[in-house]
Amino acid sequence: MAENKTATLTIDGQSFDLPIHSPTAGPDVIDIRKLYGQAGVFTYDPGFTSTASCDSTITFIDGDKGELLHRGYPIDQLAEKSHYLEVCFLLLYGYLPSAAELEHFEDTITRHTMIHEQMVYFFRGFRRDAHPMATMVGVVGAMAAFYHDSTDISDERQREIASHRLIAKMPTIAAWAYKYSIGQPFVYPRNDLDYAANFLHMCFSVPAEQYNVDPILARAMDRIFTLHADHEQNASTSTVRLASSSGANPFACIAAGIACLWGPAHGGANQACLEMLKEIGSVERIPEFIARAKDKNDPFRLMGFGHRVYKNFDPRAKVMKQSADEVLDLMGIENNPVLQVAKELERQALEDPYFAEKKLFPNVDFYSGIILEAMGFPTSMFTPIFALSRTVGWVSQWKEQLADPLMKIGRPRQLYKGETARDYVDIENR
């Protein structure tokens, strides 16, 4: 970034020039790295919503335009024309692979989906009613105890091996967390199935009978993975980067990302959407809840509509809607009141001028929740599937950060409002 512009900050009559960097896309950025040393002041930005913590070449979002680019490629094109493992390659290496490169990458991932057999005991150490996310946080963090040959973050080859292992093994870990939570035996991965079909097979097959993965469901699952692969510097990605800045091993960093994603304000949006649909209960009650959503004095909000980043249509939602329609046509909704409510709510909301004016369109969480419900996943598995999908984004951001010569340990400042120095008072005098 060329420093061809400056901003001037004036404090008590004294002026300070701050460099302005111009990105390839997005707003200019004021460089305040030397501000404290020069002016003796910090900036104050709760939530870091106006602060760039890094530079990156991976993902770009323009919320006003409803644009999401991975290495410059629009997400809707990738979701329609590509598939998850090709997008993984793109995020990791920065370019679309040749046929030979993609075949080699897919073979590498496919042949490393098994996890160390001793890790089975980690699953069995959890209570059966443990949330699958709790299990995933523990098991992924424990990978550092088994894969010592890929924890040296200064070794570029070890970083690549760790990246491949995390992408390859996360579906197995997520599927086994699910199987453990419902008391069914673990199903081992199969090398003859693609990434999404393999995950569905590990989740829904049982030893007692043959299970064939429907290609429509596998394609819908692959799109869910693709559309959640990366989303710029969100809370969990920033958590991974902050953990990485201390020199932590890759498995600890990704476990930290999973823990952050577990928060309902981040990864639980599609679960909240399904819970809202269940609260509505029947098609007949939809007008009542739409009226409540329009009432500013009513705390009820339509979950799965609008997005805090996108001030327009969520670019991922169009493709996800197509998958939702395909899955619902395949599975049917006649005997599922939740899906009936979802379809009718979508129709009524899209026809209502209020939602169009407010740009409250159905987002990716609305449609992904519908798909996962139709497939038979409980809501407790929605966030683990999100974590599985986002692993490649976390790993790509982690690798990029470690290769950045400007990387330093994260150390945010604070606006202190506590007590100033005071003397200790002996307990008998208090």
Give catalytic residue positions: 307, 365
What span, in angstroms and rounded, lies between the C-alpha atoms of 366 and 346? Answer: 9
What span, in angstroms and rounded, lies between the C-alpha atoms of 198 and 221? Answer: 10
What span, in angstroms and rounded, lies between the C-alpha atoms of 360 and 239? Answer: 29
Q: Which residues make Cβ contacts (< 8 Å) with residue 263, sequence separation at least 6?
A: 235
Query: For the chain, how many residues are written?
Result: 430
**Structure tokens that stand for 288 in this block:** 């009542």
- Answer yes or no: are the C-beta atoms of 361 and 318 closer than 8 Å: no
Longest pairwise C-alpha distance within the chain? 79
DSSP string, 302-326: -TTBS-SS-SS--TTHHHHHHHHHH
Distances (CA, A) of 222 to 105, 117, 271, 277: 17, 27, 19, 24
What span, in angstroms and rounded, lies between the C-alpha atoms of 407 and 401? Answer: 7
∠ CA(237), CA(243), CA(247), 5° rounding?
Answer: 130
